[in-house]
Amino acid sequence: MIEVKNVTKKYGSFTAVDNISFTVKDGEVIGFLGPNGAGKSTTMNMITGFIEPSEGTIMINGNDISKKAKKAKRQIGYMPENVPLYSELTVKEFVKYMTELKRMPRKQRKEDIEKVLKETGLEEVQNKLIRNLSRGYKQRVSLAGALVGNPEVLILDEPTVGLDPKQIIEIRNLIKELGKNHTVILSTHILPEVSQICERVIIINKGKIVAIDTPEHLEEKTKEENVLLLTVEDKEEHMGNIKEKLPKLKEIKMIKDNEDGTKQYMITSNADVDLRKDLFDILPKQNITIFELKKAEATLEDAFIRLINAKEEIEKASESIQNKKQDKEEKKKEKEAKKQEKKKQKEENKKERGEK
Partner 1 sequence: MWTIAKKELKTYFLSPIGYIFIGIFLLMCSIFFYLDVVQYGSTNFEYMFYSAATVLTFIVPILTMRMFAEERKTGTEQLLFTSPRSITSIVCGKLLGAAMIILITEAFTAIYYIILTCFGTPHITTALITLLGYFLLAMTYISFGMFASSLTENQIIAGVITIAFFIVTWFMPNFIEATLDFSFINVFSNTFPTGSVTLSSLVLLISTPILFTILTILVLQRKKSVK
Stretch that binds partner 1, among 85-93, 115-123, 243-251, 279-287 (CB under 8 A): 85-93
Q: Say whether residue 128 binds partner 1 (CB under 8 A).
A: no
State in angstroms the smallest separation of the CB of 191 from partner 1. Answer: 26
- Closest by alpha carbon to 146, among 284, 48, 27, 226? 48
Which CB, 5 or 250, lies closer to partner 1? 5
Residue 223: DSSP 8-state: G
- Residues that bind partner 1 (rule: CB under 8 A) add up to a total of 30
The rounded distance, in Å, linking the Cα atoms of 291 and 262 is 8
Q: Say whether residue 89 binds partner 1 (CB under 8 A).
A: yes
Phi, psi of 242 (to 5 degrees): -60, -40
Q: Say whether residue 88 binds partner 1 (CB under 8 A).
A: yes
- Indicate the residue type of 95: V
Alpha helices (runs of H) in 188-248, residue ranges in sequence order: 191-197, 215-221, 242-245
Which CB, 89 or 212, lies closer to partner 1? 89
The rounded distance, in Å, linking the Cα atoms of 124 and 8 is 44
Q: Say whether residue 145 binds partner 1 (CB under 8 A).
A: yes
The rounded distance, in Å, linking the Cα atoms of 208 and 103 is 36
Among 18, 61, 97, 208, binds partner 1 (CB under 8 A): 97
Q: Say whether residue 109 binds partner 1 (CB under 8 A).
A: no
Q: Say whether residue 154 binds partner 1 (CB under 8 A).
A: no
In three-state secondary structure terms, 134 is coil
Which CB, 66 or 214, lies closer to partner 1? 66
Among 103, 118, 294, 344, binds partner 1 (CB under 8 A): 103
Cα distances (Å, whole numbers) of residue 52 to 17, 42, 108: 12, 10, 32
Which CB, 1 or 51, lies closer to partner 1? 51
How does 310-335 read in b/e, with b if 16+ C-beta sit within 10 Å?
ebeeeeeeeeeeeeeeeeeeeeeeee
Q: Say whether residue 78 binds partner 1 (CB under 8 A).
A: yes
Among 33, 98, 175, 279, binds partner 1 (CB under 8 A): 98
Q: Say whether residue 37 binds partner 1 (CB under 8 A).
A: no
Q: How many CB atoms lie within 10 A of CB 353?
A: 8
Do strands 183-188 and 14-24 pair parallel, antiparallel, or not at all (unpaired)?
Answer: unpaired
Q: Say whether residue 139 binds partner 1 (CB under 8 A).
A: no
Q: Say whether residue 102 binds partner 1 (CB under 8 A).
A: yes
Residues that bind partner 1 (CB under 8 A): 11, 45, 48-52, 54, 69-71, 73-74, 76, 78, 80, 82, 84-89, 97-98, 100-103, 145
